[in-house]
Chain A
Amino acid sequence: MDVNDFIKKIEAEFEDLEPGKLKPESNFRDMFDWSSVNALILIAMVNTEYDVIITAEDLRASKTVQELFNVILQKVK
Protein backbone atom coordinates (compact mmCIF):
# COMPACT_ATOMS: atom_id res chain seq x y z
CA MET A 1 0.00 0.00 0.00
CA ASP A 2 1.29 3.44 -0.90
CA VAL A 3 0.00 6.97 -0.94
CA ASN A 4 -0.84 6.91 -4.65
CA ASP A 5 -3.02 3.90 -4.10
CA PHE A 6 -4.69 5.82 -1.26
CA ILE A 7 -5.32 8.77 -3.60
CA LYS A 8 -6.89 6.45 -6.20
CA LYS A 9 -9.23 5.18 -3.52
CA ILE A 10 -10.19 8.72 -2.55
CA GLU A 11 -10.83 9.59 -6.20
CA ALA A 12 -13.05 6.55 -6.57
CA GLU A 13 -15.10 7.66 -3.59
CA PHE A 14 -15.58 11.33 -4.53
CA GLU A 15 -17.03 11.68 -8.01
CA ASP A 16 -16.61 15.47 -8.08
CA LEU A 17 -12.86 15.08 -7.65
CA GLU A 18 -10.97 15.46 -10.90
CA PRO A 19 -8.57 12.47 -11.30
CA GLY A 20 -4.93 13.47 -11.00
CA LYS A 21 -5.66 16.68 -9.17
CA LEU A 22 -5.11 15.33 -5.69
CA LYS A 23 -1.41 15.05 -4.71
CA PRO A 24 0.25 13.69 -1.56
CA GLU A 25 1.10 17.25 -0.53
CA SER A 26 -2.43 18.55 -1.20
CA ASN A 27 -4.46 19.81 1.71
CA PHE A 28 -7.36 17.40 1.49
CA ARG A 29 -9.80 19.96 2.89
CA ASP A 30 -9.13 22.28 -0.07
CA MET A 31 -9.51 19.62 -2.70
CA PHE A 32 -13.21 19.02 -2.40
CA ASP A 33 -16.18 20.58 -0.74
CA TRP A 34 -15.15 19.58 2.79
CA SER A 35 -18.03 18.86 5.15
CA SER A 36 -18.83 16.50 7.98
CA VAL A 37 -20.59 14.27 5.45
CA ASN A 38 -17.46 14.10 3.31
CA ALA A 39 -15.41 13.41 6.43
CA LEU A 40 -17.64 10.43 7.16
CA ILE A 41 -17.32 9.17 3.59
CA LEU A 42 -13.53 9.32 3.94
CA ILE A 43 -13.62 7.57 7.32
CA ALA A 44 -15.89 4.88 5.86
CA MET A 45 -13.57 4.30 2.92
CA VAL A 46 -10.50 3.97 5.15
CA ASN A 47 -12.41 1.65 7.44
CA THR A 48 -13.53 -0.62 4.59
CA GLU A 49 -10.30 -0.59 2.60
CA TYR A 50 -7.68 -0.66 5.37
CA ASP A 51 -9.71 -1.93 8.35
CA VAL A 52 -8.48 1.06 10.32
CA ILE A 53 -10.44 3.54 12.43
CA ILE A 54 -9.56 7.20 12.00
CA THR A 55 -11.04 9.56 14.55
CA ALA A 56 -12.15 13.17 14.35
CA GLU A 57 -8.84 14.04 16.12
CA ASP A 58 -6.81 12.21 13.47
CA LEU A 59 -8.55 14.26 10.81
CA ARG A 60 -8.04 17.50 12.70
CA ALA A 61 -4.34 16.73 13.22
CA SER A 62 -3.73 15.99 9.54
CA LYS A 63 -3.51 18.62 6.86
CA THR A 64 -2.24 16.88 3.76
CA VAL A 65 -3.16 13.62 2.12
CA GLN A 66 0.31 12.29 3.00
CA GLU A 67 -0.12 13.14 6.68
CA LEU A 68 -3.44 11.36 6.81
CA PHE A 69 -1.96 8.38 5.00
CA ASN A 70 0.85 8.26 7.60
CA VAL A 71 -1.76 8.03 10.35
CA ILE A 72 -3.35 5.10 8.54
CA LEU A 73 0.04 3.41 8.05
CA GLN A 74 0.79 3.69 11.76
CA LYS A 75 -2.55 2.14 12.67
CA VAL A 76 -2.25 -0.72 10.21
CA LYS A 77 0.88 -1.95 11.99
Chain B
Amino acid sequence: MALFSLHNSLIKGISACVPATEYDNMDYDWISVKERELLIKTVGVAKRRMAPVGTATSDLCLHAAEKLLKDVQWEKDEVEMLVFISQARDYHLPATGIILQDRLGLSKKCMAFDVGLGCSGYVYGLSIVGGLLNSFNLKKALLLVGDISTASISYKDKSIYTLFGDCGTATAIERSEGAPVMHFNMMSDGSGFDAIYIPHSGTRRIADKSSLEMQKFGDGIYRNMIQLFLDGVRVFNFATMEVPPNVKELLESQNMTVEDIDQFVFHQANLLMNEVIRKKLKIPKEKYPYSMNTFGNTSSASIPLTMITQLREKIMNEKLKLLLSGFGVGLSWGSVILETNKIVCSELIEV
Protein backbone atom coordinates (compact mmCIF):
# COMPACT_ATOMS: atom_id res chain seq x y z
CA MET B 1 0.00 0.00 0.00
CA ALA B 2 1.46 3.32 -1.06
CA LEU B 3 0.63 5.04 2.20
CA PHE B 4 3.78 6.84 3.28
CA SER B 5 5.25 9.91 4.93
CA LEU B 6 7.74 12.30 3.42
CA HIS B 7 10.15 14.26 5.58
CA ASN B 8 12.29 17.34 4.95
CA SER B 9 10.39 18.51 1.89
CA LEU B 10 9.16 22.11 1.97
CA ILE B 11 6.89 23.92 -0.46
CA LYS B 12 8.32 27.44 -0.79
CA GLY B 13 5.75 28.81 -3.18
CA ILE B 14 3.27 28.24 -5.98
CA SER B 15 2.22 30.11 -9.10
CA ALA B 16 -0.13 29.57 -12.04
CA CYS B 17 -0.61 30.93 -15.53
CA VAL B 18 -3.78 30.75 -17.65
CA PRO B 19 -4.48 31.98 -21.18
CA ALA B 20 -6.19 35.38 -21.19
CA THR B 21 -8.80 34.18 -23.69
CA GLU B 22 -12.01 33.27 -21.90
CA TYR B 23 -14.59 30.98 -23.45
CA ASP B 24 -18.17 31.39 -22.28
CA ASN B 25 -19.98 28.04 -22.41
CA MET B 26 -23.22 29.89 -23.19
CA ASP B 27 -21.63 30.57 -26.61
CA TYR B 28 -21.36 26.84 -27.41
CA ASP B 29 -23.77 26.77 -30.34
CA TRP B 30 -23.35 23.04 -31.12
CA ILE B 31 -26.13 22.41 -28.56
CA SER B 32 -29.37 24.17 -27.67
CA VAL B 33 -29.49 27.03 -25.16
CA LYS B 34 -31.44 24.80 -22.79
CA GLU B 35 -28.78 22.10 -23.00
CA ARG B 36 -26.07 24.70 -22.37
CA GLU B 37 -27.86 25.88 -19.25
CA LEU B 38 -28.28 22.33 -17.94
CA LEU B 39 -24.63 21.52 -18.61
CA ILE B 40 -23.38 24.65 -16.86
CA LYS B 41 -25.59 24.04 -13.85
CA THR B 42 -24.77 20.34 -13.52
CA VAL B 43 -21.14 20.20 -14.57
CA GLY B 44 -20.38 23.51 -12.86
CA VAL B 45 -18.29 25.11 -15.59
CA ALA B 46 -19.61 28.45 -16.89
CA LYS B 47 -16.39 29.82 -18.31
CA ARG B 48 -12.94 28.53 -18.94
CA ARG B 49 -9.64 29.59 -20.42
CA MET B 50 -8.53 28.31 -23.80
CA ALA B 51 -5.03 28.60 -25.17
CA PRO B 52 -4.79 29.80 -28.78
CA VAL B 53 -3.64 27.17 -31.27
CA GLY B 54 0.13 26.96 -31.17
CA THR B 55 0.46 27.75 -27.48
CA ALA B 56 2.08 24.84 -25.67
CA THR B 57 1.80 23.79 -22.03
CA SER B 58 5.43 24.76 -21.60
CA ASP B 59 4.59 28.39 -22.48
CA LEU B 60 2.16 28.61 -19.57
CA CYS B 61 4.53 26.81 -17.20
CA LEU B 62 7.39 29.06 -18.32
CA HIS B 63 5.52 32.21 -17.26
CA ALA B 64 4.48 30.59 -13.99
CA ALA B 65 8.06 29.49 -13.24
CA GLU B 66 9.66 32.84 -14.14
CA LYS B 67 7.33 34.66 -11.77
CA LEU B 68 7.73 32.12 -9.01
CA LEU B 69 11.54 32.16 -9.14
CA LYS B 70 11.42 35.93 -8.60
CA ASP B 71 8.83 35.71 -5.84
CA VAL B 72 10.68 33.04 -3.84
CA GLN B 73 13.97 34.79 -4.63
CA TRP B 74 15.78 31.79 -6.01
CA GLU B 75 18.72 32.19 -8.34
CA LYS B 76 18.25 30.25 -11.54
CA ASP B 77 21.48 28.32 -11.16
CA GLU B 78 20.35 27.04 -7.76
CA VAL B 79 17.65 24.86 -9.31
CA GLU B 80 19.01 21.33 -9.47
CA MET B 81 15.91 19.50 -10.59
CA LEU B 82 12.99 20.30 -12.90
CA VAL B 83 10.08 17.88 -13.15
CA PHE B 84 7.41 18.57 -15.76
CA ILE B 85 4.12 16.72 -15.38
CA SER B 86 1.70 16.86 -18.29
CA GLN B 87 -0.27 14.89 -20.82
CA ALA B 88 -0.11 17.69 -23.36
CA ARG B 89 3.59 17.85 -23.93
CA ASP B 90 5.23 20.03 -26.58
CA TYR B 91 6.51 16.98 -28.50
CA HIS B 92 6.34 13.19 -28.21
CA LEU B 93 10.08 13.55 -27.94
CA PRO B 94 12.16 15.07 -26.49
CA ALA B 95 10.77 15.55 -22.99
CA THR B 96 9.36 19.04 -22.47
CA GLY B 97 11.06 19.42 -19.08
CA ILE B 98 14.41 19.54 -20.86
CA ILE B 99 13.20 22.28 -23.20
CA LEU B 100 12.02 24.19 -20.16
CA GLN B 101 15.46 23.92 -18.53
CA ASP B 102 16.84 25.91 -21.45
CA ARG B 103 13.93 28.33 -21.88
CA LEU B 104 14.05 29.18 -18.19
CA GLY B 105 17.79 29.74 -18.38
CA LEU B 106 18.52 27.13 -15.73
CA SER B 107 21.98 25.66 -15.36
CA LYS B 108 23.00 22.64 -17.44
CA LYS B 109 23.74 21.04 -14.08
CA CYS B 110 19.99 20.74 -13.56
CA MET B 111 18.36 17.34 -14.02
CA ALA B 112 15.12 17.62 -15.99
CA PHE B 113 12.50 15.11 -17.06
CA ASP B 114 8.78 14.52 -17.66
CA VAL B 115 6.14 12.47 -15.92
CA GLY B 116 3.02 11.57 -17.89
CA LEU B 117 0.12 12.02 -15.50
CA GLY B 118 -3.11 14.02 -15.58
CA CYS B 119 -5.57 14.83 -12.83
CA SER B 120 -3.55 13.04 -10.13
CA GLY B 121 -0.32 14.67 -11.33
CA TYR B 122 0.07 17.42 -8.77
CA VAL B 123 -0.12 15.13 -5.75
CA TYR B 124 2.14 12.60 -7.47
CA GLY B 125 4.55 15.39 -8.33
CA LEU B 126 4.86 16.54 -4.72
CA SER B 127 5.78 13.00 -3.69
CA ILE B 128 8.21 12.41 -6.57
CA VAL B 129 10.09 15.70 -6.18
CA GLY B 130 10.20 15.55 -2.37
CA GLY B 131 11.35 11.94 -2.43
CA LEU B 132 14.07 12.55 -5.01
CA LEU B 133 15.41 15.70 -3.32
CA ASN B 134 15.86 13.66 -0.17
CA SER B 135 17.35 10.54 -1.66
CA PHE B 136 19.66 12.43 -4.05
CA ASN B 137 20.58 14.97 -1.39
CA LEU B 138 19.66 17.89 -3.65
CA LYS B 139 18.40 21.23 -2.39
CA LYS B 140 16.02 23.02 -4.77
CA ALA B 141 13.56 21.82 -7.37
CA LEU B 142 10.86 23.18 -9.64
CA LEU B 143 7.71 21.14 -10.17
CA LEU B 144 5.94 22.33 -13.32
CA VAL B 145 2.48 20.89 -13.80
CA GLY B 146 -0.24 21.59 -16.33
CA ASP B 147 -2.08 20.74 -19.49
CA ILE B 148 -3.54 22.27 -22.57
CA SER B 149 -6.46 19.85 -22.65
CA THR B 150 -8.60 21.90 -25.02
CA ALA B 151 -6.27 21.14 -27.95
CA SER B 152 -7.41 17.52 -28.16
CA ILE B 153 -11.15 18.03 -27.80
CA SER B 154 -13.68 17.90 -30.64
CA TYR B 155 -16.01 20.89 -30.93
CA LYS B 156 -18.73 18.49 -32.05
CA ASP B 157 -18.44 16.34 -28.91
CA LYS B 158 -21.02 17.76 -26.55
CA SER B 159 -20.13 15.16 -23.92
CA ILE B 160 -16.89 16.97 -23.04
CA TYR B 161 -16.41 20.14 -25.09
CA THR B 162 -17.48 22.49 -22.30
CA LEU B 163 -15.49 20.81 -19.51
CA PHE B 164 -11.80 21.58 -19.83
CA GLY B 165 -9.68 24.68 -19.34
CA ASP B 166 -5.96 25.25 -19.88
CA CYS B 167 -3.41 26.11 -17.22
CA GLY B 168 0.27 25.74 -16.34
CA THR B 169 1.63 25.95 -12.79
CA ALA B 170 4.92 26.05 -10.94
CA THR B 171 5.79 24.91 -7.42
CA ALA B 172 9.12 25.59 -5.72
CA ILE B 173 10.17 22.77 -3.42
CA GLU B 174 13.28 22.55 -1.29
CA ARG B 175 14.85 20.01 0.99
CA SER B 176 14.71 21.47 4.43
CA GLU B 177 15.53 19.71 7.71
CA GLY B 178 12.56 19.69 10.04
CA ALA B 179 9.97 20.69 7.44
CA PRO B 180 6.44 19.60 8.39
CA VAL B 181 5.94 15.97 7.37
CA MET B 182 3.71 15.26 4.35
CA HIS B 183 1.51 12.17 4.40
CA PHE B 184 0.53 10.52 1.12
CA ASN B 185 -1.89 7.84 -0.02
CA MET B 186 -1.28 6.99 -3.69
CA MET B 187 -3.15 4.50 -5.87
CA SER B 188 -3.55 3.29 -9.47
CA ASP B 189 -5.91 1.12 -11.51
CA GLY B 190 -4.76 0.60 -15.07
CA SER B 191 -7.78 -1.56 -15.89
CA GLY B 192 -9.51 1.76 -16.46
CA PHE B 193 -6.94 3.07 -18.95
CA ASP B 194 -9.56 3.38 -21.67
CA ALA B 195 -12.08 5.29 -19.55
CA ILE B 196 -10.26 8.52 -20.49
CA TYR B 197 -7.86 8.29 -23.42
CA ILE B 198 -6.84 9.36 -26.88
CA PRO B 199 -7.06 6.11 -28.90
CA HIS B 200 -4.46 6.77 -31.61
CA SER B 201 -1.92 8.70 -29.61
CA GLY B 202 1.06 6.40 -29.26
CA THR B 203 2.70 3.22 -30.45
CA ARG B 204 -0.19 0.94 -29.47
CA ARG B 205 -2.01 2.41 -32.44
CA ILE B 206 0.10 4.70 -34.54
CA ALA B 207 -1.96 7.49 -36.07
CA ASP B 208 -2.53 7.37 -39.80
CA LYS B 209 -4.92 8.98 -42.26
CA SER B 210 -7.91 7.07 -40.88
CA SER B 211 -7.25 8.48 -37.41
CA LEU B 212 -8.47 11.86 -38.65
CA GLU B 213 -11.85 10.63 -39.86
CA MET B 214 -14.71 12.11 -37.87
CA GLN B 215 -16.94 9.38 -36.43
CA LYS B 216 -20.33 9.55 -34.80
CA PHE B 217 -20.54 8.07 -31.29
CA GLY B 218 -23.94 9.34 -30.28
CA ASP B 219 -26.33 12.22 -30.55
CA GLY B 220 -24.18 15.35 -30.76
CA ILE B 221 -21.00 13.35 -30.21
CA TYR B 222 -18.53 13.34 -33.09
CA ARG B 223 -14.78 13.03 -32.80
CA ASN B 224 -11.76 11.42 -34.45
CA MET B 225 -9.20 9.01 -33.02
CA ILE B 226 -6.62 11.61 -32.06
CA GLN B 227 -9.17 13.44 -29.94
CA LEU B 228 -9.99 12.79 -26.32
CA PHE B 229 -12.56 10.18 -25.32
CA LEU B 230 -14.06 10.25 -21.84
CA ASP B 231 -16.58 7.73 -20.47
CA GLY B 232 -18.44 10.00 -18.08
CA VAL B 233 -20.34 7.34 -16.14
CA ARG B 234 -17.29 5.12 -15.69
CA VAL B 235 -15.10 7.96 -14.48
CA PHE B 236 -17.88 9.21 -12.26
CA ASN B 237 -18.33 5.82 -10.63
CA PHE B 238 -14.58 5.34 -10.26
CA ALA B 239 -14.00 8.67 -8.54
CA THR B 240 -17.01 8.56 -6.23
CA MET B 241 -16.18 4.97 -5.24
CA GLU B 242 -12.41 5.28 -4.80
CA VAL B 243 -11.64 8.81 -3.64
CA PRO B 244 -13.64 8.93 -0.36
CA PRO B 245 -12.07 5.73 1.07
CA ASN B 246 -8.62 6.88 -0.05
CA VAL B 247 -9.04 10.16 1.83
CA LYS B 248 -10.61 8.46 4.86
CA GLU B 249 -7.76 5.97 5.06
CA LEU B 250 -5.21 8.78 4.90
CA LEU B 251 -6.93 10.77 7.64
CA GLU B 252 -7.26 7.67 9.83
CA SER B 253 -3.60 6.79 9.35
CA GLN B 254 -2.77 10.13 11.00
CA ASN B 255 -5.51 9.82 13.64
CA MET B 256 -7.18 12.82 12.07
CA THR B 257 -10.73 13.71 11.11
CA VAL B 258 -12.23 16.20 8.69
CA GLU B 259 -12.22 18.75 11.51
CA ASP B 260 -8.43 18.69 11.75
CA ILE B 261 -8.02 19.96 8.17
CA ASP B 262 -8.37 23.65 7.34
CA GLN B 263 -9.01 23.31 3.62
CA PHE B 264 -9.62 20.39 1.25
CA VAL B 265 -8.31 21.27 -2.19
CA PHE B 266 -9.57 18.62 -4.58
CA HIS B 267 -9.07 18.16 -8.28
CA GLN B 268 -11.77 20.12 -10.10
CA ALA B 269 -13.33 17.25 -12.08
CA ASN B 270 -16.92 18.43 -12.37
CA LEU B 271 -19.40 19.80 -9.89
CA LEU B 272 -21.65 16.75 -9.70
CA MET B 273 -18.74 14.40 -9.03
CA ASN B 274 -16.96 16.72 -6.59
CA GLU B 275 -20.16 17.27 -4.64
CA VAL B 276 -20.84 13.52 -4.25
CA ILE B 277 -17.29 13.11 -2.97
CA ARG B 278 -17.68 16.07 -0.61
CA LYS B 279 -20.97 14.77 0.81
CA LYS B 280 -19.58 11.27 1.31
CA LEU B 281 -16.65 12.66 3.27
CA LYS B 282 -18.91 15.13 5.12
CA ILE B 283 -16.67 18.07 4.31
CA PRO B 284 -18.32 21.45 4.98
CA LYS B 285 -18.72 23.64 1.90
CA GLU B 286 -16.56 26.43 3.29
CA LYS B 287 -13.61 24.04 3.50
CA TYR B 288 -13.95 22.85 -0.09
CA PRO B 289 -13.06 25.59 -2.60
CA TYR B 290 -13.97 25.53 -6.30
CA SER B 291 -12.25 27.18 -9.24
CA MET B 292 -14.02 25.17 -11.96
CA ASN B 293 -16.87 27.65 -12.37
CA THR B 294 -14.62 30.14 -14.16
CA PHE B 295 -11.60 28.01 -15.13
CA GLY B 296 -13.08 24.59 -15.93
CA ASN B 297 -11.40 21.27 -15.26
CA THR B 298 -7.74 22.22 -15.57
CA SER B 299 -6.42 18.65 -15.23
CA SER B 300 -3.24 18.39 -13.14
CA ALA B 301 -3.13 22.17 -12.66
CA SER B 302 -6.48 22.30 -10.88
CA ILE B 303 -5.17 21.94 -7.32
CA PRO B 304 -2.54 24.72 -7.40
CA LEU B 305 -4.87 26.91 -9.53
CA THR B 306 -7.63 26.54 -6.93
CA MET B 307 -5.17 27.37 -4.15
CA ILE B 308 -4.11 30.54 -5.97
CA THR B 309 -7.52 31.75 -7.12
CA GLN B 310 -9.55 30.80 -4.04
CA LEU B 311 -7.18 30.65 -1.06
CA ARG B 312 -4.37 33.06 -1.89
CA GLU B 313 -4.83 35.41 1.08
CA LYS B 314 -5.11 32.51 3.53
CA ILE B 315 -2.10 30.70 2.14
CA MET B 316 0.08 33.83 2.30
CA ASN B 317 -1.01 34.92 5.76
CA GLU B 318 -1.94 31.84 7.73
CA LYS B 319 -0.52 28.54 8.84
CA LEU B 320 -2.70 25.91 7.18
CA LYS B 321 -3.26 22.19 7.28
CA LEU B 322 -4.36 21.15 3.79
CA LEU B 323 -5.58 17.93 2.29
CA LEU B 324 -5.07 17.79 -1.47
CA SER B 325 -6.57 15.06 -3.63
CA GLY B 326 -6.12 14.38 -7.35
CA PHE B 327 -7.99 11.70 -9.31
CA GLY B 328 -8.74 10.76 -12.89
CA VAL B 329 -7.05 9.61 -16.09
CA GLY B 330 -4.96 6.45 -15.70
CA LEU B 331 -6.89 5.65 -13.70
CA SER B 332 -4.74 7.24 -11.05
CA TRP B 333 -5.46 8.91 -7.74
CA GLY B 334 -3.70 10.15 -4.66
CA SER B 335 -4.08 12.41 -1.65
CA VAL B 336 -1.70 14.24 0.63
CA ILE B 337 -1.96 15.97 3.99
CA LEU B 338 0.51 18.83 4.30
CA GLU B 339 1.14 22.00 6.25
CA THR B 340 1.94 25.39 4.78
CA ASN B 341 3.20 28.30 6.83
CA LYS B 342 2.68 31.58 4.96
CA ILE B 343 4.18 30.41 1.72
CA VAL B 344 4.62 32.45 -1.45
CA CYS B 345 1.48 32.40 -3.55
CA SER B 346 2.09 34.44 -6.70
CA GLU B 347 -0.69 36.43 -8.26
CA LEU B 348 -2.43 34.60 -11.12
CA ILE B 349 -0.74 35.28 -14.45
CA GLU B 350 -2.85 35.74 -17.61
CA VAL B 351 -1.17 35.70 -20.99
A contact set with B: CB distance below 8 Å: 35-37, 39-41, 43-44, 47-48, 51, 53, 55-56
Contacts and interface: CB of A to CB of B under 8 A. Distances in A.
Contact of A48 (B218, B241, B280): B280
Secondary structure dominating the interface of A: helix
B159 A36 contact: yes
- Measured as residues with beta carbon below 8 angstroms from the partner, the interface class of chain B is 20 to 34
A44 B233 contact: no
A55 B273 contact: no
Given A44-B273, A44-B275, A53 B42 contact: no
Contacts of B42: 37, 40-41
Contacts, number: 43
Interface in B225-266: 232-234, 236-237, 240-241
Contacts of A55: 233-234, 237
A48 B277 CA distance: 8
A56 B280 CA distance: 21
A41 B236 CA distance: 11
Contact of B233 (A35, A40, A51): A40
Contact of A47 (B39, B43, B240): B240
A44 B232 contact: no
A71 B307 CA distance: 40
B233 A56 contact: yes
Interface of B: 35, 38-39, 42-43, 159, 218, 232-234, 236-237, 240-241, 272-273, 275-276, 279-280
B280 A43 contact: no
A13 B305 CA distance: 31
Counting from the closest, the 6 A-B pairs by CB-CB distance are: A56-B233, A53-B237, A44-B272, A44-B276, A37-B42, A47-B240
A52 B258 CA distance: 23
B233 A43 contact: yes
Given A35-B35, A43-B236, A47-B237, 11 more contacts: A35-B38, A36-B159, A37-B39, A40-B232, A40-B233, A41-B272, A43-B237, A44-B276, A47-B280, A53-B240, A56-B233
Nearest to B221: A36
A66 to B, nearest CB: 22
Contacts of B232: 36, 40
A55 B237 CA distance: 7
A29 B236 CA distance: 20
A53 B244 CA distance: 13
Contacts of A40: 42, 232-233, 236, 272
A44 to B, nearest CB: 5
A35 B32 CA distance: 13
B267 to A, nearest CB: 17
